[in-house]
Amino acid sequence: MTDGDEYFMRMALREAEKAAADGEVPAGCVVVDADGRILGRAHNQTEGLVDATAHAEMLALSAAFAARGNWRLSGCTVFVTKEPCPMCAGALVLARPDRIVWGVADDKRGGSTVFGIFRHPGVNHHPEIVEGVLADPCRDTLQAFFRRRRAEKDEKPR
């Protein structure tokens, strides 16, 4: 972990809070180059955009590609509040950032912890993985969202 990891993860958490405010699963992502410039930031927008691929990572990657003028993100770090799913993990392998930093692991659908995508011998890029940065606030944001969602579901008449 570097000194800037918590700083940029806090930015990703602010993105996650935007998602929660919009009724989206609260995941946020920030892509930063080696000089500390933010190339892309986003939050989940699958419901709002009616697009199953509109995960925070996918949207932040697209912004970073445009900002850089290149689909290769060597020298960059991707900060995400929740471990990337298999789709996002695959996109990250293709984008080739040097590091991927996440807050909380996804023990059901994690692209790394469950599916092993970042370490799979068949992929051509193996980024450095840093887990657990600001894990408690990342977890708290997710848990609060799903508690609210369950409470709303219980309140609806059947």
Which amino acids are annotated catalytic? 57
Helix, strand, coil percentages in the chain from 3-state DSSP, rounded to 5 = 45, 15, 40
Interatomic CA distance for residues 53 and 63, integer angstroms: 14
List the 77-82 sheet strands across, edge first.
Answer: 38-43, 28-32, 77-82, 99-104, 128-131
Helices (DSSP H) in 69-134: which residue ranges? 86-95
Distance CA 130, CA 77 (A): 10
